[in-house]
Structure formats: structure tokens, C-alpha cells
Amino acid sequence: NAGVTQTPKFQVLKTGQSMTLQCAQDMNHEYMSWYRQDPGMGLRLIHYSVGAGITDQGEVPNGYNVSRSTTEDFPLRLLSAAPSQTSVYFCASRYEGFKGNEQFFGPGTRLTVL
Amino acid sequence: GENVEQHPSTLSVQEGDSAVIKCTYSDSASNYFPWYKQELGKGPQLIIDIRSNVGEKKDQRIAVTLNKTAKHFSLHITETQPEDSAVYFCAAKEPDDYKLSFGAGTTVTVRA
């Protein structure tokens, strides 16, 4: 299994540009989520999904959109990038059930908005 | 929603000494408490977790303790080694919620 994969690893955008951060998992996990990591602020939840066609907002959703058309993929879209969105973004997936709740993280995307 | 506080934010220990990180949570209904280790340039990885029906869990040099009454849980690393240097995150999960609530993280440095 490849686990959770993210692309790209690094990205530089100009203010106002849009882009999509890709995330895929091959573990057939129903739950997927996106976090951003900023110094001293831990991991903050942006959006999450509990299955194909179902998404919901986390604690910092403004400026981001998500969709979940398949179990495997959960892309994160920045509609109009702002310098405040400079951060490291992590995608994660998890099995929900009696087998356990281990959450697997991808390697991250480091985004800089100029 | 759940609120998790983590202390200290940074921790420097001599190789071979023990390290302890403490977290408190706000929702007494939370029943799952994982700890993640994040090495430089990588995503967080689960190192140990504990459920609310257990007071302590050990895995080689790491252990987690849970005090449900006081609503806090701690990570203990014994005989620290240079490869233990990383950022550690605690988290808590409520039973009827999909979301994990994370602490702000602790940067652990093991001095040789």
C-alpha cells in the first residue's frame, strides 16, 4: 500500500491565484481530512469527509473548498490564494470502527503565497 | 467541541533521561487519545494510543497514562535517544464525532 499520498510537495503561488492540492489513499478509508500546520498552532482541521459525496467544515474552512467524488481522492482547492494561507498542508485518512481509529497522514504540501 | 491543551511547548533532555509531555482535554465524553510523532519534513505518525477504559499503556520505551477524573493524559519516553528528537502531538476524540482535536505540539530535543 502507498498509504496517503499528496501532490505537490512544494508550491509557490501569487496572491489571487488558484490551485488544487491533491490527496489520495489506497486503504479504503471512509474518513479523510485536511489540516494546516502553522508554527505554535498545531494541526488545525480545514475540511473533512466521512465518505464519498459527504463533506463538512472544520475549524478553519474559509478560503478552501473540497469535494469527495470517490473513496480514494480528496482534493483541496484554494480559490484565491492569500498570504495568510502560507502553511504546510496535511491530508489524512482513517478507518472508523471496531478495528481501531489510527489516522494516517500524508507527507505534506508546503505552500507559500507571495 | 473538544479543546486540548499541551505542555510544555519545548522540551530539552539529556540522552538517557526521561521525557514527559502532558495534555488536558475539556470534554469528559472523549474516549480515544492518540499520540503522534512528527519528524522534520514528514507527516505525523501514530506512536501510541489509549482508550478511556484503560489507565496506562506501554510499548517498549514509551508509555501513556490517562486520568479520566482530572481529564489529562501524559506521554512518557524513557531512556531517550537522539532519534526521539521530534515534534509530538496529543489528540482527543469524542465518541460521536469523527474529528480528532490536536494539542499545539511539543518540540523534544535530545542532547547527546
The distance of Cα B105 from the centroid of its chain, to the nearest Å, equals: 9
**Mean pLDDT, residues B86-102 taken together:** 91
Average pLDDT value for residue range A74-89? 97
Q: What tens digit of pLDDT does each residue of B32-80 get?
A: 999 999 999 999 999 999 998 889 999 999 999 999 999 999 999 999 9
Contact partners, residue A39, CB within 8 Å, separation at least 6: none
Contacts of A99 in chain B (CB under 8 A): none
Proportion of chain B above pLDDT 90, given as a percent = 90
Closest residue in A to B87 (Cα–Cα): A42
Query: Nearest CA to CA, how far is B77 from chain A (Å)?
Result: 20
pLDDT at A100: 66
pLDDT score, position B53: 86
pLDDT for A98: 63
Residue A84: CB atoms within 10 Å: 10
Is B98 within 8 Å of A105 when comparing Cβ atoms?
no
Across the interface, do A108 and B49 touch by the CB < 8 Å criterion? no
